[in-house]
Structure 1
């Protein structure tokens, strides 16, 4: 029976992997005496699965809606490579007594998946530019969830599951089954540390606001509505404030400065997004929250380059989040590779992407400049001037400009690897072999990742320590070795380690002696 295939703690059921039989073919014969409604919910959730898929774990989560029940479900299957693949499903029940459920979220666990405790009774799972927060209903349930998730992430890393590969293609079936109410989908996509949220955004992850904070939020919402309905060339700020007081039915004298600042902010955001390329818009928070404008512009993809602004329409658009603040110390370069692929995904699908931050000035503008440099092979100067021409207020902060300069160096170095003249020069400087032949210019690098572009995807990893070499220069803490393959070597024997390897310093010395007159 189904009751023999799992054990329960409060709010969670952990399935035991026994044989290859389908869970969907089983039925619940002897529910646990103190299990409550969990066994019945499990049977309903199992009925959602394809016959070849199985549930590994189901964890009940907190919800802002008192009458609703939510579960994070870990589902696994055997993929095209006959290896275990895992996804997370967000499952919604409209009530405890409900005999049916719907899917509100699907998250594939790729090799870059990271899990972090949030310090508030929950944890976040981030992968491929997405992040979701889960708050189990008990400590024991959270412990069970973390154990299973860490094991699933280890499997994904071991087999290097990455977006665009052959892994996890079966998750498309569950993505096509997403049918929860929009309010449920919004809750699955709730984020922390937000300053600007959609009106129905769940308040599960924020402290209870003060009376003044609640009033300021209401002012923001009402003010936007009023300003969009007015001819701003023929109305004064005082008239807008008076109408705001009528709408809110209260005196807002103590909020005068806040209202004036908010009006200027909204006014700056109300411009239409700037069309940078046929498939790419650069804009502000306002543009990201204007559904009519987004749909009218043919935008299906939104790149949100902020930590403080919500995804306003989850379920209607494809989102990718780069959760950073507009500070000079922010490492934005580490995210440009993933941003590049997300923007190009819109291009390949004959759609459009909006890249936005708060004002469309610094974070998002820097990201669009970096995209142009890589996509078209432009210099920083050319890309900057082009974006500036299309959106005059674009102005990356000093830290982002330094990162763009560094990014230009990385892209230039990558181009040099494919330069025939560079390769010919390298061949001409190679030392002679003992038989008088010139060694081949091809080297097999044992430790060095030669694809400099792919290094961008690894910038989130802790950097290697540096050391001072005997000349006082700073060197990266790697010990690289190279193997040289000459024609005669290929025809004869494979060298031993001592015969075939030499250090970089030896190579430089031989090259210098070979180049000497």
Structure 2
């Protein structure tokens, strides 16, 4: 699609700035003051003098979405004392040596990916005790010398509004009303996130939709909502072990080779040379007929079991299509009722929630299972 082409073009331009021995660990697009301006937070990685991984943040600027060349506007080493924290407004702050930089990715998924990658980089820096003034990350100067973005772009990279002085600290406001609202947020936030495309919406858009659902201004709860949102994403991010040979997860899990190898599962075809796939091309819509595929998915999972392999069943978020399919497998394999199978799945993966049409199809499937 268009956006994939835009990203591919921009990544190609970013690669032109890298030294031969460096690689890109992550690149996420950020919000910008100017609608035409494209900004990317890029984590550049290399093997340092001690044969250990070293990482820096590089901020890249494209004047427009059609631009095929970029400039560098920010270079930020990741030291052992670097601090990463949510800013309570759909972004996060990176604090290092009394300097603070705020980044706001353009989507919830981009935000989640960036936070995970940054925390891993920080863990590496702490493990090897990378501190400013040491012989680590000396290669940072190469990229610092290439900072050529115009002053407007650099101002945006350096801008850091002191959000903490202007916002109340909700940890000091734990009155009964606040506790009640936070409980309501926890109950409804997951439902709202299930209805939104987290690849193409921001944290702010999720909060605004939540405000519509509960009909309440939640400005004072921004930090709390961001924190809860990432707790929920953490649940979504990990595949759930249903049986010794069966896992339930998301598309993110299916694209993580390291995780797949760790769990030993066979799983869209991200790694066709390494795993065996069965694809069911259906949208999470009430008009979709998932029932017609459940005999085939049962056979595929059973083949993994009989060959002493493991299988990951996934859709985009691991919530509706895949959870219904796993429940159907349990019904046929264990001769369980729909109620028992769903309770078992939800008990292990609380975000599992098949859409109403799939629940009706499970009712029909139950009749087929017990008619034999």
Question: TM class by shorter-chain length?
Answer: 0.3 to 0.5
The structure with higher relative contact order (CA 8 Å, sep 6+) is 2
TM-score (norm 2): 0.43
Rg bigger for which structure?
1
TM-score (norm 1): 0.31
